[in-house]
Amino acid sequence: MPESKSSFAESTSNLDSAKWRNPRSGTRPATLNKPTTLVSSNAARGAIIKHIRFSTVSFLAIVGACIGSFSVATFQRADSSHEDTMMAASEVARDWGLNPLVAVAENFYYGYLNPAKIGGTPAEAATFDGTSGNGANPRYVSKFSANPKANIAVFGPATEPQLLPNSLVSPVKALPGEGKWRPTKIVVNGASAIYIARVRPDTSHTSVYATVTWFDTRLLGFSQVPGTKLPEGNFDHGSGRVAGKLRKYYVAGFANGYKMNQSQGGYIKDGVVVARMVRGKATLLTYPDGSLDIVKWGRDSYRKGFSVARQNLNLMVDAGKSKVLSNLAAVWGSTWHGTGSGGNYVWRSGIGKTADGSLVYVQSAALSAETLADLLVRAGAVKAMALDMNAGFANGNLFGPYLPAGKRMNPDNPNSSLDFYRTSERDFVAVFAKSPK
């Protein structure tokens, strides 16, 4: 009996070691492999499903957290910056590095969802500050003094007023008062220092008036003031407003250029290169004496000793001619940089220097890059450049006698009439009276 047990054990061991192979094929029967394979396949499938579920839940949690954070940041910005929700959301998206997405969304919104109105007539008259009539008001000079006092010593006193430019020509049949210069209440040394004209921008968007503001540079001084956040860079941004001792002479302010990562240019303040200057870009220069110049960096000569050099895109007008050959050129709108097409008819602004050194500032809804440049040419600019764009940023206001409420240069602009008087996140151009009224 022991032997038979031993023989049985030996025989089963041999069978096992042979792995039950088919004597002809040398393989194990499929029926013996199947249970093990099923167990392994089910275990692997379960692990994959578990991993997919975990990844999906994690992804949704991350997306939810991002949406929540984005929403909070948007509402906080809308509240602190006095922007509407859509504008605040686009700026937060740009801050988060979603520039291409913002540009695509802008192109779709302005091109298809909310295009500028074609045709029609303006709902209001072409007046400003209560002035009316078909003819332009004459140049207002009440008591010009040959030796006035200087409000700001480094600016020097006001000198003899400049001549008012010719009226602007409407691209369509002019309505009463259209294109005529209207004096504002800002008077320096007996003369109105700022005039405003309203005119249609082109032959298509005839229900809109563009605002053109004219500044007498013999009566006014200019300074570029950094905002608390813009231009971006490691430098002392200051308070984001005009210094207290200068505020009583502060009569107007308007938005400067794009964010630096969208401007395609550089920035220098008080000799510090905050962002590297780019050859060929349009550059706004302001000096300690309150003077201002517009140059093509690297080509044009300029007076040394400027306080601030701010670049924004290319020159729109050069030698009195528009340089916007195509609205679609990347120089006027770059998807990568987060700005919509130059062909979008939206709020835009720009500044130009005339042959006699006076300044013109254009601001309007329903402008493309091309029609903005054309307006600057019609206003007499020999050199001009784009400033900020979109409803939340292309704006400017009058102060001085218009305080405490302030007054929009363009009555249609949706922004606060106290922008640039109170603390601003974005940099702006400040305008000062050189001498008393």
Yes or no: say if 284 and 300 are a contact pair by the CB < 8 Å rule: no
* Structural domain total, the chain: 2
User: Would residue 92 count as lying in a domain?
Assistant: no
Contact 335, 94 (CB under 8 A): no
Distances, alpha carbon 60 to alpha carbons 55, 65, 66, in Å: 9, 8, 10
pLDDT in tens, 120-147: 999 999 999 876 545 555 566 667 788 8
Rounded Cα–Cα distance for residues 432 and 287 (Å): 13
Choose one of 59, 80, 96: the last residue of a domain. Answer: 59
- CA-based Rg of the chain, rounded to a whole angstrom? 34
Among 65-79, 236-250, 298-312, 368-382, the minimum mean pLDDT is found in: 65-79
Range of the domain at 12: 2-59
Helix (H, G, I), strand (E, B) or coil at 292: strand
With bands split at pLDDT 50, 70 and 90, how would you rate the model's confidence at 82?
low
Same structural domain, 180 and 54: no
Q: Is residue 396 in some structural domain?
A: yes
Is residue 53 scored above 90 in pLDDT? no
Q: Does 137 reside within a domain?
A: no
Q: What was the pLDDT predicted at 406?
A: 98
Please, how many CA atoms are within 13 Å of residue 130, restricted to the half-sphere of its CB? Answer: 3
The answer to whether the predicted template modeling score (pTM) of the entire model surpasses 0.75 is yes
In a domain, 380, yes or no: yes
383 and 254 within one domain: yes
Residue 98 lies in a domain: no
* Segment 338-360 mean pLDDT: 86
250 and 390 housed in the same domain:
yes
Q: Which of 16, 31, 59 is at the close of a domain?
A: 59
Residue 67 contacts by C-beta under 8 Å, 6 or more apart in sequence? none
The answer as to whether 97 is a domain residue is no
Q: Is residue 90 part of a domain?
A: no
**50 and 164, same domain (yes or no):** no
199 belongs to a structural domain: yes
On whether both 22 and 158 belong to a single domain, the answer is: no
